[in-house]
Amino acid sequence: MTDPAVHSGSVTDRYADLPLPASSILRATAAGGTLRLVGIEASRIVEEARLRHHLSKTATAALGRALAASALLAVVLGKRTDARVSLRIEGGGPVGWIVAEGSADGRLRGYVRQPGADLPPRASDGKLDVSGIVGTDGEIAVTRLLANGEPYTGSVRLQSGEIAEDVSFYLGASEQIPNAVLLGVYEEGGRVAHAGGLIIQAMPGVSDETLGRLEANIRALGLLTDQLRAGGLLAALEAAAQGLDLQLATEAQPAHFSCRCSRGKALDSLKFFDANERQEMIEEGGQNVHCHWCGENYHLSPAEIAALDAEERRAQA
């Protein structure tokens, strides 16, 4: 008998058939290079996260916004094409905490403490209550690797728990980057239909006229998910930079939910136990190792665990 949650093959192939377009990151400049725009279409990634972690509706929206933000921050803050940024949001709400990690080359993963936590839609506007589930009494911490390989973490108090406003405040206060941040997850029939994010960064030398136009554009743009529904990520970029001469910088960077766990690493983690403990695992028919980041369960067989001990004996001989 096989537990359907336990599987031993590739981590990603189970979600290949989701009826959603491939996710991607788009970069652009506007207003003669004085504005930099980075957007991510993340519907597929967020739906995969929902399925992997059995997330409630509101937890899906919260983790989805954090995932989109992590990839955008990796592009904005990273110096390398494979720069990685992780985000930890803890606001005292029912979801516990949220962790998301994104890289500029489009690999995203993340999880929340309480995936089943949920709240009714907000009475005021019927929207998912993200700030309610995240909470507002806490902080957002952003960790990235500096050029010398050392991790650097900056953090600020949460502003609203809605995540976009919190990421924007972080960029302004901790990184001195004037910016606008839009994040959104739109669900339909219990599934993610649209999700994504957009960061617009004002560069040195930007004119007041450009900033005024940008502000007006963002007010007129409304919800990011409405733009994604109507015309996709490109439409959102065009709306944000309307009248500001948008220049798409590069080809779209494909993005996906991608974890760095593997069967080999799961097996390696058993080396932290002593030989007696591993013998118990063998006698009990093997051991499950769970990856928090992606929800994957690796069932390691008695033979695999025994091989680990044989390998260790060889190393000691």
Q: Which residues are near Zn ion by CB under 5 A?
A: 259, 261, 291, 293-294, 296
142/259 with CB nearer Zn ion: 259
Shortest CA distance to 267 belongs to which of 238, 228, 221, 310? 310
Q: Alpha helix locations (H) across the chain?
A: 43-53, 57-77, 130-134, 164-175, 208-221, 224-240, 263-269, 275-283, 302-316
For 175-197, letters b (16+ CB in 10 Å) and e give eebebbbbbbbbbeeebbbbbbb
* Cβ 115 to Zn ion shortest distance, Å: 15
Q: What distance in Å separates the CA atoms of residue 297 and residue 285, rounded to the nearest whole number? A: 15
Tokens of 36: 């930099």
Q: What is the dihedral sign for C-alpha 75, 24, 294, 70? A: positive
252/267 with CB nearer Zn ion: 267
23/227 with CB nearer Zn ion: 23
Residue where the block lists tokens 């009248």: 243
* Cβ 295 to Zn ion shortest distance, Å: 7
**What type of residue sits at position 268?**
D
Q: What distance in Å separates the CA atoms of residue 140 and residue 154, rounded to the nearest whole number? A: 8
168/258 with CB nearer Zn ion: 258
* Cβ 96 to Zn ion shortest distance, Å: 19
169/293 with CB nearer Zn ion: 293
* Cβ 206 to Zn ion shortest distance, Å: 40
* Cβ 266 to Zn ion shortest distance, Å: 9
For the chain, how big is the Rg over CA atoms in Å?
A: 21
68/266 with CB nearer Zn ion: 266
Q: What are phi and psi of 102, to 5 degrees?
A: -135, 155
Half-sphere exposure of 292 (CA within 13 A, CB side): 9
Q: What distance in Å separates the CA atoms of residue 100 and residue 86, rounded to the nearest whole number? A: 6
157/263 with CB nearer Zn ion: 263
Q: What is the dihedral sign for C-alpha 6, 7, 8, 12? A: negative
* Cβ 19 to Zn ion shortest distance, Å: 24
- The residues with which 38 forms a beta bridge, in sequence order, are 27, 199
* Cβ 292 to Zn ion shortest distance, Å: 8
* Cβ 109 to Zn ion shortest distance, Å: 7
Count, residues in the chain? 317
136/269 with CB nearer Zn ion: 269
